[in-house]
Structure 1
Amino acid sequence: MSTHETTTRLLPTADGARVRAVLRELVRPQRGTAVLGLIALVGAAAVSLLVAPLLGQIVDVVAQQRGADAVTGPVLGLVGAALGQGVLAVLGIALVAQVGETMLARLRERFVSRALGLRLERLEDAGAGDLTSRITEDVTVVAEAVREAMPEFARAALLVVLTFVGLAALDWRFLVGALLAVPIQAWTARWYLSRSGPIYADQRIAYGTQQQQLLDTAAGLSTVRALRLGDEHSGRIRERAENVVRLSLRVIRLQTRFFGRLNGAEFVGVAGVLVAGFWLVGSGTATIGTASAAALYFINLFTPINILLFQLDAAQSALAGLRRLVGVADLPPEPVPDTPERPDGSGIGVRGLSHSYVADHPALRDIDLDVEPGTRVALVGASGAGKTTLAKVVAGLHRPSSGRVEIGGAGLDEQGPEVIRETVALVTQEVHVFSGTLAEDLRLAAPDADDARLHAALDAVGAGEWARGLPDGLETVVGDGAHELTVVQAQQLALARLVLADRPVVILDEATAEAGSSGARTLETAAEAALDGRTSLVVAHRLTQAAAADRIVVLDGGGIVEQGTHDELVAAGGAYARLWSAWSGLRTPAPGV
């Protein structure tokens, strides 16, 4: 699969100019801290430059056969330089890391804010793997660069610059000898960067596509097994894994050639300094100690130069991840009306609604539907009939291809996302238990709710007994790695949040489907309590839910084929009657519930 084919559906990636602009914007509030960190690192680098001349003095003392007292001063100077360099380096690295961590935190917040504001079809088009790889792997790579690469890079760069200054101060000819290595190093760095950048970008994309395939296979494992698609999915996973391995091997081969060329540059540079020292000492222009100091200066450059060039590797990988993060963080927010309309009531009106995920393949077609305030409407039909699509369009998660959805007489586009969230609540079968205490999980829906209100919501959905029986009650930590809730308990928790949110319009999309037979009645009772008094659309997984609704809407092929009460539809002997007959196990349609 070509890179073009894998990137056509992905979320955007920012270019270098935009990344630099965002970095300037993020560092602006931290300028004072950044300047202090830079000053500390400059001080540490400057103090470290005293080591080579002090060692040169010791060499001259030995060469001139002076007394032991002459060594005391240089030795004390070395101790002072070591202490000063250590303190300043720690301070500088800490300040630079603080700046980087703050910038990363703000970028991550922008990323999450934009990601949460994306329309569902945009995320579905890109695939969950692309988004999750950005917020996990890309953030990890950038965070490692911020914590390690950035401070080390800044310190190494200052050491290199100031060491060249120190060489020039000893004698400009030492500097000329050292600079012989620079053209080789510059050419090597340019050669490496021109090749590594595209590879790292492809590597980040490959990680995303691999993760997407793993998510698709894991999420649909039962379907894969039922349709005997295991070999096909294994082949896709293997293909994407092989692509990741192939790119990783390209990186390793490139790095091996990179460091080999750097070793050659070091040889040229040290040879140049030694030749200059030999000539200057022979001509009496410099002492042995000065030549030794110059050689030590250049040898000490090996580490910072290698750090600089080695961190180019981390920088390239981090830049690739940063471009992907900024690409999402820079996405324009969904359009919001200047003066959002407020719904007048909770009635739902659907007019001429059509929606397509893929061009020329409508999932919904010409839907007209009215739901009176306070009534419950059940959506039933075979898999693929359009039930979930209709529910998500009414909830504002999908923008319809054509037609209009109104709540309380106001169109969803005129209301805007904030007003819709204040009016409509959606609960699906995919329930998430957030890590934290049970009370914190519940207060996501009502931050100001006291314990009494939380218990009342749990009681309303039949969860009060087991919640009070938890080891620490509402303060029991739930979620991954803590107290695990059963499927039924997790769904009751979601319905309790629904009660706390107190939205006038509620949509349940097969919210009791995961419970299995044993917990079905418990969740159906909980759902009835949560829906009491609210306008609701229920995508019915079990026809007992439909039978209890005020009205049933039967969909087939994306259109409404029947609607009415349970008794009316059973008596009509149409599509719903056949579904009810199959569900109830009767040979002929049942006359009632």
Structure 2
Amino acid sequence: MTSPETGPAEDTGLLPVATPARTRAAVRELARPYRLLAVGGFGTLVVATAVGLFTQPLLGRIVDLAADREAEAVTGVVLLLVVVAVVQGVLTGVGVARIAKLGETVLARLRERFVERVLGLPLERVERAGSGDLTVRVTGDVSLVAEAVRSALPELARSVVAIVLTLGAMAVLDWRFLVAALLAVPVQAYTARWYLRRAVPLYAEQRVVTGRLQQQLLATIGGAVTVRTLRLERAHTERVTTRSRAAVGITMRGVKLVLSFYCRLHVGEFIGLAGVLGVGYWLVRDGSASLGTATAAALYFHSLFGPINAALVLLDDAQKATAGLSRLVGVADLPPPEEPGRPATARDASVTVAGLAHSYDDGHPVLHGIDLTLAPGEKVALVGASGAGKTTLAKLIAGIHRPSAGTVRLGGADLTELGPAAVRGAIALVTQETHVFSGPLAEDLRLARPGASDAELRAALARVDALTWAEALPDGLATVVGDGGHRLTSAQTQSLALARLVLADPPVAILDEATAEAGSTGARALEKAAAAAVEGRTALIVAHRLTQAATADRVVVLDAGRVVETGTHDALRAAGGRYAALWEAWTGTREAAHRTPAPAPSQHPAARPTSRTPAAPAGPQT
């Protein structure tokens, strides 16, 4: 699949990359509001370079004065050289600063658009691309573009201005000097074209290869426990090795390309300098130019070595930055999730799942025909062995993934009819992978409700029993946490996530093993906090500890992507089925196997145990 804006889409599901034309257009769009700053910066560089061009004629004048034995006149010329150097230095500094400011401002706007689009992307899209691809764009690509903006862009602008004005100055001395200098242009132009043709696709490929390597490293290191448990060390090591070799190979190709690039540039310099010196010798011998004029021409061309080489060498940085920039623009250009033209309205906080099926890969279904109903305010625990499909079901209900088949309804309205914004406001998902954002603890909490007062923050913390430790921090709620700040424990981090849930105040809450990282010492306290956080809400709790299931209104047991049991904790224990076995393994007793089955309470018909055969399609839902 291809797009004129983003180019070919890869089967790997990586996020899109903008085409060169679209990247240039995006930069123009971002820079358009700062035209005056751009004109002022480039104009100042032009004046600074023009002033600096007086250096070579003044040096030539010194040569003529020395040849005519007029040493006393040299002092005045030297003073002029000092004035030229000072003025040029000041103006160059001002111009470079303005160009750098322009670049930083445009980059800041691009960053804002990038972050806005990333935060608005469906999590399913991000997960399909892989965290490695997104991580490389956020870190590596942004760093490349930022470095180019801070150093390469001002230097490139200064170099281009110096080249144009210096060639003009050589023409003023004598048009034949300009012709001689231009002998180097065909070699340099061919070299630049040869390089660009190879560098653009090479560096684009390098960013993709690096992203794949990053993704593999994250998958291997992040899942180290699972890798060791399943004895997949060799397979993962081979994958890392293969992708590392690919990254090294493409890097070496880049090194060889740059070395060949430099060699070709030196040939052009030799041809141009030889031509200028030859013309100078001929003109001085013929009497058409003085020795000082020939010296000034040679110095002019020699002064071009720096700007020309800098401009051409900066093409290397420019191509790397362009490759990174196109990847940022590709994401920044992604359209926001579509909202329905006439969004539906949920009548209550009930959740109804009908015929739900899902697969991440074709032919490998994870869920099979799930039917499930959560009444408003009901707390349902979802249990099952690892790989049963609990997290997948939780994400489907939260609207993160779209089901392969079936529907998820909130208050009678299909999630697709409500729209992404309404779903985010109505359903909150808290997982065990919580995060502490860098900054004051109070601002971390206000991410859930930006306008929350200090009293509301304390009330939320108190509800999840976190106010005591929060106020005991060095600066209380003003304590800086996250990277570079005060380190919070795993239990405190998850308490913080639960407090954000309270502040967000959604009618439906989904806890996907949100207390799994607490450790045995903080398990009971965190489970109590989780229960308080979901009080009064419709809640689906993927239970890591079966003590959470014991306090739920109803327990749903998943096995191999199917609902095999549903009922109250006591009824399922008494039934002696799958849940009873899980409870026995959890508690270390055989009490469940010897108890007499008891019917479920009449007020919950759905609590009656269903067939415990693994092939059972689903349990009763009303």
Q: TM-score range by the shorter chain?
A: over 0.9
Does the CA-based 8 Å contact 1:6-1:209 persist in structure 2? no
Is 1:517 the counterpart of 2:520? The answer is yes
Is 1:456 the counterpart of 2:459? The answer is yes
Q: C-alpha separation between the residues in 2 aligned to 1:520 and 1:206?
A: 42
Return the offset for 1:102: 1.3
Q: C-alpha separation between the residues in 2 aligned to 1:308 and 1:377?
A: 65
Equivalent residue in structure 2 for 1:103, among 106, 112, 126: 106
Return the offset for 1:56: 1.1
Does the CA-based 8 Å contact 1:425-1:505 persist in structure 2? yes
Return the offset for 1:558: 1.5
Equivalent residue in structure 2 for 1:56, among 55, 60, 71: 60
Higher mean Cα deviation, 442-451 or 278-287? Answer: 442-451
Q: C-alpha separation between the residues in 1 aligned to 2:581 and 2:128?
A: 36
Query: What SS does the aligned partner of 2:18 have?
Result: coil
Equivalent residue in structure 2 for 1:21, among 22, 25, 33: 25
Equivalent residue in structure 2 for 1:365, among 345, 363, 368: 368
Higher mean Cα deviation, 213-222 or 233-242? Answer: 233-242
Does the CA-based 8 Å contact 1:554-1:562 persist in structure 2? yes
Query: What SS does the aligned partner of 1:80 have?
Result: helix
Report 1:479-498 matches (<5 A). Answer: 479-498=482-501
Q: Which residue of 1 aligns with 2:570?
A: 567
Does the CA-based 8 Å contact 1:554-1:560 persist in structure 2? yes
Equivalent residue in structure 2 for 1:30, among 25, 34, 56: 34
Query: What SS does the aligned partner of 1:513 have?
Result: coil
Query: What SS does the aligned partner of 1:560 have?
Result: strand
Q: Which residue of 2 aligns with 1:39?
A: 43
Q: Which residue of 1 aligns with 2:355?
A: 352
Name the CA shift for 1:215/1:526 in 2 (closer, same or farther; >3 Å). Answer: same
Q: 1:526-579 deviations in whole A, cap 9, x for unaligned? A: 101111111111001111111111111111221222211112222233222222
Q: 1:44-73 deviations in whole A, cap 9, x for unaligned? A: 1111111111111111111112251x2244
What is the identity, as a one-letter code, of the residue corresponding to 2:267? G
Q: C-alpha separation between the residues in 1 aligned to 2:437 and 2:196?
A: 42
Q: Which residue of 2 aligns with 1:322?
A: 325
Return the offset for 1:583: 1.9
Query: What SS does the aligned partner of 2:555 have?
Result: strand
Q: C-alpha separation between the residues in 1 aligned to 2:345 and 2:29?
A: 36
Higher mean Cα deviation, 571-580 or 420-429? Answer: 571-580
Q: 1:128-186 deviations in whole A, cap 9, x for unaligned? A: 10111011001100111111111111110110011110000000100111111111111
Q: 1:396-433 deviations in whole A, cap 9, x for unaligned? A: 11111122211122221111111112111110000101
Report 1:104-119 matches (<5 A). Answer: 104-119=107-122
Q: C-alpha separation between the residues in 1 aligned to 2:285 and 2:234?
A: 76
Return the offset for 1:237: 1.9
Equivalent residue in structure 2 for 1:91, among 90, 94, 106: 94
Return the offset for 1:285: 0.5
Return the offset for 1:278: 0.5
Report 1:43-442 matches (<5 A). Answer: 43-68=47-72, 70-442=73-445
Return the offset for 1:191: 1.3
What runs of 5+ residues in structure 1 fail to find an aligned partner?
A: none
Q: C-alpha separation between the residues in 2 aligned to 1:288 and 1:171?
A: 13
Query: What SS does the aligned partner of 2:429 have?
Result: strand
User: Following TM superposition, where does structure 1 have runs of at least 4 consecutive aligned residues deviating by more than 6 angstroms?
Assistant: 4-7
Return the offset for 1:360: 2.0
Does the CA-based 8 Å contact 1:40-1:91 persist in structure 2? yes
Equivalent residue in structure 2 for 1:507, among 506, 510, 525: 510
Q: C-alpha separation between the residues in 2 aligned to 1:83 and 1:342?
A: 70
Does the CA-based 8 Å contact 2:9-2:16 persist in structure 1? no
Higher mean Cα deviation, 336-345 or 33-42? Answer: 336-345
Return the offset for 1:38: 1.1
Name the CA shift for 1:58/1:552 in 2 (closer, same or farther; >3 Å). Answer: same
Q: C-alpha separation between the residues in 1 aligned to 2:170 and 2:592?
A: 97
Q: C-alpha separation between the residues in 2 aligned to 1:51 and 1:342?
A: 75
What is the identity, as a one-letter code, of the residue corresponding to 1:64? D
Aligned residues: 589
Query: What SS does the aligned partner of 1:331 have?
Result: coil
Q: C-alpha separation between the residues in 2 aligned to 1:132 and 1:7?
A: 19
Does the CA-based 8 Å contact 2:463-2:532 persist in structure 1? yes
Is 1:8 the counterpart of 2:12? The answer is yes
TM-score normalised according to structure 1 size: 0.96
Is 1:554 the counterpart of 2:557? The answer is yes
Query: What SS does the aligned partner of 1:589 have?
Result: helix
Query: What SS does the aligned partner of 2:342 have?
Result: coil
Does the CA-based 8 Å contact 1:13-1:328 persist in structure 2? yes
Equivalent residue in structure 2 for 1:540, among 536, 540, 543: 543
Higher mean Cα deviation, 296-305 or 339-348? Answer: 339-348
Q: C-alpha separation between the residues in 1 aligned to 2:462 and 2:12?
A: 49
Q: C-alpha separation between the residues in 2 aligned to 1:6 and 1:210?
A: 16
Higher mean Cα deviation, 42-51 or 240-249? Answer: 240-249
Q: C-alpha separation between the residues in 1 aligned to 2:472 and 2:241?
A: 47
Does the CA-based 8 Å contact 1:349-1:369 persist in structure 2? yes
Return the offset for 1:339: 2.9
Q: C-alpha separation between the residues in 2 aligned to 1:379 and 1:67?
A: 97
Query: What SS does the aligned partner of 2:304 have?
Result: helix
Give identity over the alignment, percent: 61
